[in-house]
């Protein structure tokens, strides 16, 4: 009995020690199974690895897509110069939205009249005329004819040429009208063709012609009152185009004021914050600047000032992020040494960075009334024969 038990035990041990049977393919018939705890651990490790791989795959795909767009945009701009023209004018950006340009009083301009002029066939431009604050009470409820007659009163007139984007009802523009009106000026401003509620397609030539038409319209009604031209940002390009043309026909304005001006549109485009990501892109000028020129857009302030013969005042904030301060200073240096200004006053007024006036808030300066009074007070017939 004892021997039998020992025999059974030995056979059992042999069976346990014997290798698992092989199938015809010489592989184990029964797969080895890991303990449950070990399998669970491996599954837990696979999930984070899978997530990381999926996240990296999506991130890589996004980077490749962005890189493709980055490289494609220059070629798109080169093939379609109209895109670059749109970016220069930005006339499709209407800010603030939902304002009725026929009702300037909604913007706090209670002594302002809205009317429309037609510089050319199929072109209509919307105009605002704000009278001096001293005439404010009399202006309320008056019609366009009264406002036109008021231009003949003994108050100087400023023709204001705004920059790109927005309309004549832009917030900073409205605030400037109020300041100038309080200082005793008529302010006449308008939206170029293609801006605001003005009808037509924008172009440098068209914008300049619109400005010329409004200037002539003012002169026909203002008598001997001084007429000054004030351009801001892109409007400085329109202003120097206009004044050069006026000087060539020997009907110059009494003074030219340039706020935040540039030298020419190519240098401004190269310095604009939008161009930062492409500034060092191979062929930047060919891709981005040449299409502007191809579209007939130059706004060559640096060339125009060489043919302008009237007093010139330049205002520029040192912290201007849109038109760099050095471009305004460079334009001043060109004008100051130009023979065309030898008999006229040329002045450059910088505004320190600490003031925070940036690109469009110079109207906030408490010094502005004094600056204008001192400059315009002696600008008329500032000849030194």
- By annotation, the residues acting in catalysis are 233, 320, 359
Contact 178, 147 (CB under 8 A): no
Based on its alpha-carbon atoms, the radius of gyration of the chain, rounded to whole angstroms, reads 36
The span from the CA of 249 to the CA of 242, in Å, is 11
Residue 131 DSSP class: P
Handedness of CA 99, 157, 344, 338 (dihedral sign): positive
The span from the CA of 132 to the CA of 135, in Å, is 6
H or E segment at 357?
Answer: none
The span from the CA of 271 to the CA of 164, in Å, is 16
The span from the CA of 149 to the CA of 278, in Å, is 52
Contact 190, 218 (CB under 8 A): no
Nearest to 88, CA basis, from 246, 314, 337, 270? 270
Q: Which residue has the tokens 């008329």?
A: 380
Structure tokens at 146: 């009264």
For 122: left if phi > 0, alpha if psi spans -120 to 50, otherwise beta; the answer is left
Residue 230 DSSP class: E
Structure tokens at 213: 């038409």
């Amino acid at each position: 009995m004892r021997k039998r038990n020992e025999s059974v035990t030995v056979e059992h041990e042999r069976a346990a020690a014997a290798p698992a049977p092989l199938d015809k393919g010489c592989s184990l018939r029964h797969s080895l199974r890991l303990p449950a705890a070990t399998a669970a651990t491996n599954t837990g490790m696979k999930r984070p690895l899978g997530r990381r791989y999926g996240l990296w795959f999506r991130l890589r795909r996004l980077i490749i897509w962005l890189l493709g767009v980055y490289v494609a945009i220059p070629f798109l701009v080169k093939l379609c110069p109209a895109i670059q023209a749109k970016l220069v004018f930005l006339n499709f950006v209407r800010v603030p939205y939902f304002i009725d340009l026929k009702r300037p009083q909604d913007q706090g301009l209670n002594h302002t009249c809205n009317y429309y002029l037609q510089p050319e066939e199929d072109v209509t431009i919307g105009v605002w005329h704000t009278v001096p604050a001293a005439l404010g009470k009399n202006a309320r409820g008056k019609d366009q004819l009264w406002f036109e007659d008021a231009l003949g009163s003994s108050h100087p007139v400023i023709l204001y040429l705004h920059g790109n984007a927005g309309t004549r009802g832009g917030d900073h523009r409205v605030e400037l009208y109020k300041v100038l009106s309080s200082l005793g000026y008529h302010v006449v401003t308008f939206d170029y063709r293609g801006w605001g509620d003005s009808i037509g397609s924008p172009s440098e030539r068209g914008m300049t012609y619109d400005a010329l038409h409004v200037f002539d319209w003012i002169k026909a009604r203002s008598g001997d009152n001084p007429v000054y031209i004030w351009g801001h940002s892109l409007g400085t390009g329109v202003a120097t185009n206009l004044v050069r043309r006026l000087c060539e026909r020997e009907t110059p304005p009494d003074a030219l004021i340039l706020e935040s001006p540039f030298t020419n549109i190519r240098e401004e485009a190269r310095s604009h914050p939008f161009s930062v990501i492409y500034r060092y892109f191979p062929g930047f000028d060919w891709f981005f600047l040449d299409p502007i020129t191809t579209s007939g857009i130059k706004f060559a302030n640096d060339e125009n000032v060489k043919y302008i013969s009237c007093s010139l005042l330049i205002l520029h904030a040192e912290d201007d992020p849109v038109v760099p301060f050095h471009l305004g200073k460079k334009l001043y240096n060109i004008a100051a040494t130009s023979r065309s200004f030898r008999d006229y006053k040329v002045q450059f007024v910088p505004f320190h960075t600490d003031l925070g006036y940036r690109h469009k808030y110079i109207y906030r300066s408490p010094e502005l009334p004094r600056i204008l009074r001192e400059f315009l007070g002696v600008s008329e017939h500032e000849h030194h024969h």
